[in-house]
Amino acid sequence: MAFLFLCDAVRGAVFAETFSKLLPDVSFAMAADEVAPEDVRFIMTWNPPPDLHRYPNLRAVFCIGAGVDQFAGSVMPPGVKLVRMVDDGITRMVAEYVAMAVLALHRNLHHYIDHQRRHHWMAVTPQVQAAARRVSIMGTGVLGQAALDKLKVFGFDLSGWNRSQHSIEGVSCYNGADGLREMLYRTDILVCLLPLNAGTAGILNGDLFAALPGGASLVHAGRGRQLDVDALMSSLDTGRLSGAFLDVTDPEPLPADHRLWKHPRVVITPHVAAITQADSAALTTVNNIKRLISGRDPIGIVDPSALSWDGSRTAAEHIKAI
- Same structural domain for residues 44 and 102? no
Alpha-carbon span 254 to 275, nearest angstrom: 18
Instruction: Quote the number of domains for the chain.
Output: 2
Tell whether 314 is covered by a domain: no
Catalytic position from the list 111, 181, 223, 240: 223
Tell whether 115 is covered by a domain: yes
Question: Sign of dihedral through CA atoms 257, 262, 265, 268?
Answer: positive
In one-letter notation, the amino acid at residue 169 is E
- Same structural domain for residues 260 and 289? no
- Same structural domain for residues 167 and 154? yes
- Backbone phi and psi for residue 179, each to the nearest 5 degrees, phi listed first: -65, -40
Q: What is the CATH number of the domain that holds 72?
A: 3.40.50.720
Q: In what order do the strands lie in the sheet with 40-45?
A: 27-29, 2-5, 40-45, 60-63, 81-83, 301-302
**Catalytic site residue 271?**
yes
By residue range, what is the domain housing residue 297? 2-87+276-307
- Same structural domain for residues 98 and 236? yes
Coil vs helix vs strand at 141:
coil
- Same structural domain for residues 81 and 134? no
Over its length of 322 residues, how does the chain's per-residue pLDDT go in tens digits?
999 999 999 999 999 999 999 999 999 999 999 999 999 999 999 998 888 999 999 999 999 998 888 888 788 899 999 999 999 999 999 999 999 999 999 999 999 999 999 999 999 999 999 999 999 999 999 999 999 999 999 999 999 999 888 899 999 999 999 999 999 999 999 999 998 888 899 999 999 999 999 999 999 999 999 999 999 999 999 999 999 999 999 999 999 999 999 999 999 999 999 988 999 999 999 999 999 999 999 999 988 777 765 544 444 454 554 4
**Catalytic site residue 291?**
no
- Same structural domain for residues 154 and 113? yes
